[in-house]
Every structure is written in structure tokens, then in C-alpha cells.
Amino acid sequence: MTSGERNRKTTLRTRLRAARRGGVVPGMSAEVLLAVAAFGVSPGDTVCAYVASASEPGSLEMLEALRSHGLRVLLPVVVGDELDWAVYEGELRPGAFGLREPVGPLLGAAAVGSAALVLVPALAVDHAGVRLGKGGGYYDRALRLSTGPLVALVRDEEFVPSLPAEPHDVRMDAVLTPGSGLVRLPL
């Protein structure tokens, strides 16, 4: 990736974060249940999800909707420069970077490989499945261990035709937006 493309990623992140400030945060409960059904995820299966920050699509209600459907929900825990995973059973504690994390025992980084579906936070996703994250690389490192479908959750306007990509970027299998629902990728 050239320095110009890297600068474009930085500029995009800044613009997308600014656009999210003060906007309505989609809870995504109904949408994630549609994704669960579309990918044939059954009660007892594992879904990796995340605890949405103040501006990210998603909510605690989304996590509870997954649990109420009999799904085992794993949430990330930042350990050093990697994501570990723990079962979400309704209780959270403060974690790294001001994030909230589950209180249960850590299952190891490879636990993401047990997921029948992985819900991934993103600032934007393009039609080819390229995901623009926050820039730390945590998810790109973690998702290499995943075997289940990867579904990024974004606002409608954050599903864009094209984003700059780097060789280490893990492509999404689908994107989930409030207006369009589940869109399988690449288009």
C-alpha cells in the first residue's frame, strides 16, 4: 500500500468517526437475528459478537437477542495486541481502551474458530468485502482464525463501493445495515 492510500485510510477514518458523532445508533437486534437465520445458525451454536461503543451499530439488546435465541455468545477481550474471547452471560466489566468486556474466563484467541457466525464492528465496508476498522489491526489478526461467515455491521451510508485495501485485510462475507439488511459479498 502506498503512503497515499494509507493517508486515504486515515482520512476516511476521521471522516467516518465525525459523521457518527451525534447520529442515531442502530441497535441491530432484528438485523442480527436475520443474519443468524440466513446463515443457518442454530440454538446451541456459537456466535462471536462485540460490545458496541457509543457510536457503533449494535447494542446490549442485540447481544441479549442472540442469547435469547439459545446462542452461545463470545465477546472479545483485548490481551496485549491480540483479541481473546470469553462467553457473555449478561455481565460486563471495564476493559482496555475504555471498552466493556465479559467477566468470564478467557477461552484463547482460537475460540473465534468455533463460531458459526462472527459479527464484526467496522467503520465502513465496500462491495468487495474490504472492511475499514479503527486501525489497530486487532480484528484482522483475530479473524484469520475464524472459519464461520464474517458479517460487518455498519450504517447504510458506511456501505460504500470501494475502500483502500492492504494485503493483511480480512475480507467480509457479508455486511449488515439497518436499511438494506444482510448483503452477501462480494457484489
pLDDT, one tens digit per residue, over 41-79 is 999 999 999 999 989 999 999 999 999 999 999 999 999
Q: Which of the four pLDDT bands, split at 50, 70 and 90, describes residue 100?
A: very high
Of 11, 43, 9, 47, the residue nearest 28 (C-alpha): 47
Confidence of residue 1 (pLDDT cuts 50, 70, 90): low
pTM of the model: 0.95
The model's pLDDT over 73-98, given as tens digits with 9 standing for 90+, comes to 999 999 999 999 999 999 999 999 98
* Domain edges within the chain: 3-184
pLDDT of amino acid 163: 96
Residue of 75, 81, 95 whose CA lies nearest to 136: 81
The closest of 136, 135, 118 to 172, measured between CA atoms, is 118
Helices and strands of the chain, counted as H and E runs:
4, 12
Please state which of the four CATH numbers 1.10.10.10, 3.40.50.10420, 2.60.40.650, 3.55.50.30 is assigned to the domain occupying 3-184: 3.40.50.10420
